[in-house]
Chain A
Amino acid sequence: MKRILSSVTDGKGFDIGLVVLPLGFLFVMSGLPLVYNVVMSFQEVDMFSLGSFARPFVGFRNYIDLFSQPETRPILFNTALFVVASIGGQFAIGFGLALFFWTNFPGASWLRGLFLVSWVMPGLVVGAIWNWILSGDFGVLNFLLRETGVIDGNIFWRSDPNYSLWAVIIANIWLGTSFNMILLSVGLSGISKDLYEAAELDGANALQRFWTITLPMMRSTIGAIIALGLIFTLQQFDLFAAITSGGPNNTSNVTQYWAWDLSFRQYDFAKGATISVIMIVFVMFASVVYVRSTRHEVRG
């Protein structure tokens, strides 16, 4: 008894206790739901069987039903478009800003940090603000586009099926750009200045220096940021809830919103779980890429 006690205060027991408790908590609160999700996707779950553990197994019927629904394919396509466009926009603008602030002038780091307010705001508030900016008749974005001659008539961002998904994408690009910029800045500051000086002596112009030094040196950072972007865009839910609610007619719906909508609006928990399983597999694949690309630093 005394040995156990002194091990807890002094030896390995102390460390093991510190790790086992939180990991146990995570296992119960994240691991078990994950398994339960898979189980539910093979069951028939409705409002009546919600409270009981014994539910009829239906094999792959939920999966078959899901893929025979007409809206599944467009929603999967929307998800892919949302992810690609959001990451592309966030990364391109973020990289541009990071390169600009890299030129290092007084006040640069403070101003750069200020951009991050978009990232710390509650997603629902960001959604509410963009909802108002993107409004069709009185939205300020339409006004600015009209005044600068980009468009002739108002775009009804939220209710026009051609634009509804882009309404959410625009808001999401705004939300995530600053985070991309900050991480890219960290990567940029890790490149040695000597390399640039040497290249400049050899007569390389700015574009060549960017192409042959900056991009190759940043490869692991860029890989990690793209993977993180994939994870974050697949987590984005609040903007959909605040701007379009997946409408009109599912044109702005994506899987992560649809899964919730099926469970909590249509009370089809089995199908909600089925989509979740499919998407979580995707996300985990992305996270393996992320973990691999940061692995040497994680072990560091």
Chain B
Amino acid sequence: MSEQFRNRLMLVVALVLAAIYLFPLYWMYITALKTGSAMFATPPKFLPSEPQWGIYADVWQSRNMGRYLWNSLVIAFGAVALISVLGVGCAYVLARYRNIWVDVGLFLILMLQVLPASLMITPIFVGFSQFGLLDTPRFAVILAIAAKSMPFFVVLVRATFMSVPMELEEAALVDGNSRIGAFFNIVLPLARNGILVSAILIFMQAFGEFVYSKSMIQDIELQPASVGLNSFMGPNTNEWNNIMAYATIYVTPILAVFILLQRRIVSGLTSGALK
């Protein structure tokens, strides 16, 4: 068996495995394009005979998706901005020193990373309502997401800072830079890519966040797309093509960003989660 033949064979098997694994995604895109009757046909059609391209515009209008997606964007951007401002410096210091306090800080951060949102929402909701934060529900959700996701961000960004050589920073200090100057002029630009990838990962998570928004945002005008999708799915729903069209509009931008940045995201993720 030649090397080339083996490589081709492996590639074909890999493509088949990927096709099986990603079938649910394909099914979402296909179902969205089906007519009402084609959706419930037996046997199911694996290619839509008369694709209903108009469904996207219909769902966009009838569900008022612009509003939902705007709220998702506001929440995700808010959370990422807050996390970046607070988390970058924290990750930097935790990467630069090695002593008992850094260990304690890292341990606390890793512990906070594991608290499940659906179990923390009860005290957060009651506490926020007592301090009147629920009057600005999107801001309340941003705070809750920031607290939930910041530990993950710090762990990822810390791994990035560890790969920036300390000598460069020391040289800058010798050249007369202040700590702040060295941080902003030398360290930050070198770590920029890692920070950006981590921020994108956090953004994707926040963009799909559900449990905090569902619990804290009562006003439909302020709800994000995940809550909108949930209210779309009743127990006896039969509008599956509409639901899948909604899902398509919601996730396609995320998938596009992911596929574009795939290599960086995967390497950023693996460097942080296990190291």
What is A's interface to B at a CB cutoff of 8 Å?
9-11, 14-15, 17-19, 21-23, 25-26, 29-34, 36-37, 40, 45, 50-53, 97, 100-101, 103, 105-111, 113-118, 120-126, 128-133, 135, 137-138, 140, 143, 147, 174, 177-178, 182-183, 185-187, 221, 224, 228, 231, 234-235, 237-238, 241-242, 245, 256-257, 259-260, 263-264, 269, 272-273, 275-276, 279-280, 283-284, 286-287, 290-291, 294, 297-300
Contact = CB atoms under 8 A, between A and B. Distances in A.
Given A26-B109, A29-B143, A259-B122, A125 B27 contact: no
Interface stretch (B49-57, B59-67, B87-95, B188-196): B87-95
B259 to A, nearest CB: 7
A284 to B, nearest CB: 6
A183 B209 CA distance: 23
B275 A256 contact: no
Given A117-B259, A123-B208, A272 B122 contact: yes
B90 A187 contact: no
B251 A125 contact: yes
B165 interface: no
A269 B225 CA distance: 26
Contact of A138 (B18, B44, B96, B144): B44
Contact of B266 (A123, A182, A279, A280): A182
A106 B262 CA distance: 17
Count class of interface residues, chain B? 35 or more
Contacts of B125: 263-264
Contacts of A34: 115, 120, 123
B7 A116 contact: no
Given A51-B130, A269-B122, A298-B275, A105 B14 contact: yes
**SS class of chain A's interface: helix, strand, loop or mixed?**
helix
B86 A235 contact: no
Nearest to B148: A30
10 smallest CB-CB distances across A and B, nearest first, come from A122-B208, A18-B89, A29-B147, A276-B119, A105-B10, A33-B123, A22-B90, A237-B118, A22-B86, A287-B114
A37 B94 CA distance: 29
Contacts of B211: 237-238, 241, 260
Nearest to A175: B24
Output the residue of A25, A177, A297 with the most chain B CB within 10 A. A25
A30 B47 CA distance: 48
